[in-house]
Structure 1
Amino acid sequence: MRAPLPASGDLIQVTRTASVQFIRPIRFRVIRVLDWPTYDGWIWLEGYQLNARGEAVARRSIFVQPAGLVIQRRTAPVPPGRPRSSMRT
Structure 2
Amino acid sequence: MLPRSGDVLHVTRAASVQFLRPIMFRVIRVHDWPTYEGWVWLDGYELNAAGDAVNQRTIFVQAAGLRQLRTAPQPRQHTARPRRPVARTAVRVG
Superposition TM-score tier, normalisation by shorter sequence? 0.7 to 0.9
Kindly report the root-mean-square deviation, in angstroms, between the aligned alpha carbons of the 2 structures: 1.3
Q: What TM-score, normalized by structure 1, do the two folds share?
A: 0.83
Q: Which runs of 4+ in 1 moved over 2 A?
A: none
2:54 aligned with 1:57: yes
1:86 corresponds to which residue? none
Could you report, residue by residue, the CA deviation over 1:29-78 in whole angstroms, capped at 9, with x for unpaired residues? Answer: 00010111211110000000011111111100000001000000001221
1: distance between equivalents of 2:5 and 2:65?
18
2:11 aligned with 1:18: no
2:28 corresponds to which residue? 31
Task: State, as a whole percentage, how many aligned pairs show the same letter.
Answer: 61
Aligned residues: 79
Q: What TM-score, normalized by structure 2, do the two folds share?
A: 0.79
Bigger radius of gyration: 2
Query: How far 1:14 sits from its partner (Å)?
Result: 0.1
Structure 2 residue runs of 5 or longer lacking an equivalent are 80-94
Structure 1 residue runs of 5 or longer lacking an equivalent are 84-89
